[in-house]
Structure 1
Amino acid sequence: MKDFPTIETERLLLRKVTAEDAQDMLTYLSDPLVVKHMGLDPFETINDALDEIEWYESIFRESSGIRWGITLKEQGEVIGSCGFLNMTTKHKRSEVGFELSKPYWGKGIASEALSAVVEYGYKQLQLERIEALIEPTNIPSQKLVEKQGFMREGLLRHYEYTCGKFDDLYMYSILKQDFDALKHER
């Protein structure tokens, strides 16, 4: 991929995050409730946000992922992100991740963004399998991916070491055939 793609939905514009968006990102990534299940400490400085933006750029450059900033069409302010990481083209699979600023929770925004990103993964990146790794205590994210057709496959015990502790993670996945079947039902 040479140029960073933009995805448009009914209410959202998913776009490349730039250094100009660092303050917006700092606003939500400094909220302990937003980062609680992300394996991150709350951001404290603008440099933390700039480092996150550099990570987004590096995974895109290396073709190991792509992370879009979530914006409402009428605003332009970055209120979250959604995208792929740990992408392996050989096996046609990737992990998907997302987060959203707290004032926008419960409005269907994360669902709308995730749906568009998953569709992009199957149609543009030719993925076969998309995974989501979610902490057992993160019920809202579990409900979100289940609503999108992801299936829980099992518990990965002490799968990650973040913020000074080992985390168990549920493995969820959706296959291209599952996605296609859901599209025909809707």
Structure 2
Amino acid sequence: MKGFPLIETDGLILREVKQDDANDLLKYLSDKEVMKYVGLEPFNSIDDALDEISWYKSIFEKGTGMRWGISLKGQDKIIGSCGFLNRATQHYRAEIGYELSKEYWGKGIASEAIEAVISYGFKELNLHRIEALIEPLNLPSQKVLERKGFIREGLLRGYEYTCGKFDDIYMFSLLKQDFIRKKDR
């Protein structure tokens, strides 16, 4: 397996998350507002962050996903993550997931990272479909995806059991041809 890919955008570096980044992850993944729609309880310890980093490594090694740490160009601090999970190579699809430290919300950073990861997925991983599962109350995330061309396909009732409750989830998708068509405009 080749090494973890680095993605550079105008303002961001998307890179592999290392154990040295655990404190950065703990900072934003312990924030209740950041974790509100992630489906996990806010992190309490450095061990929680190290477990998350181990999960990132394991999905990359298994080929079921990849998660990039988001950092601003010129700074090495991880302020969020974005990437793929539940990759089904035989079906040419994967699910996208992301989160960002609250202090960076509303600055276009998530949008820039998502755009780069989507592009990587279609061009480098040869995906045909990228899915996103979003809680109905997570309106900012829905808006970001819709601006990227994702279509809301429907409501999956009681789809996830997280944090002691069943959650309804909207299924969004973006197909490769829609992404290419949008790029050509």
Q: Report the TM-score range of the alignment, normalised by the length of the smaller protein.
A: over 0.9
CA deviation after TM superposition for structure 1 residue 61, in Å? 0.4
Distance 2:75 2:84 in 1: 24
Which stretches in structure 1 are left out of the alignment for 5+ residues? none
Counterpart of 1:49? 49
Counterpart of 1:150? 150
Counterpart of 1:32? 32
**Secondary structure of residue in 2 paired with 1:90:** helix
- What's the CA shift string for 1:52-107, capped at 9, x where partnerless? 00000000000000000000011110000000000000000000000000000000
Structure 2 length-normalised TM: 0.99
**Secondary structure of residue in 2 paired with 1:169:** strand
Distance 1:24 1:18 in 2: 11
Which stretches in structure 2 are left out of the alignment for 5+ residues? none
- What is the one-letter code of the residue matched to 2:114? L
2:16 is the alignment partner of 1:13: no
- What is the one-letter code of the residue matched to 1:50? L
**Secondary structure of residue in 1 paired with 2:79:** strand
Superposed, which structure 2 residues align to 1:161-172 within 5 Å? 161-172=161-172
**Secondary structure of residue in 2 paired with 1:153:** strand
Counterpart of 1:98? 98
Structure 1 length-normalised TM: 0.99
- What's the CA shift string for 1:24-72, capped at 9, x where partnerless? 0000000000000000100000000000000000000000000000000
**Secondary structure of residue in 2 paired with 1:152:** strand
**Secondary structure of residue in 2 paired with 1:4:** coil
Distance 2:74 2:139 in 1: 30
The share of aligned pairs that are identical, in percent, is 65
Superposed, which structure 2 residues align to 1:168-179 within 5 Å? 168-179=168-179
- What is the one-letter code of the residue matched to 2:62? E
Counterpart of 2:107? 107
Distance 2:22 2:3 in 1: 21
CA deviation after TM superposition for structure 1 residue 2, in Å? 1.8
- What is the one-letter code of the residue matched to 2:54? E
Counterpart of 1:141? 141
**Secondary structure of residue in 2 paired with 1:85:** strand
Counterpart of 1:4? 4
**Secondary structure of residue in 1 paired with 2:177:** helix
- What is the one-letter code of the residue matched to 1:4? F
**Secondary structure of residue in 2 paired with 1:14:** strand
- What is the one-letter code of the residue matched to 1:150? F
Distance 2:10 2:18 in 1: 23
Distance 1:2 1:97 in 2: 23
Counterpart of 1:184? 184
Structure 1 runs (4+) deviating above 3 angstroms are none
Q: Give the root-mean-square deviation of aligned CA atoms.
A: 0.5
Distance 1:14 1:60 in 2: 15
The number of residues matched between the two structures is 185
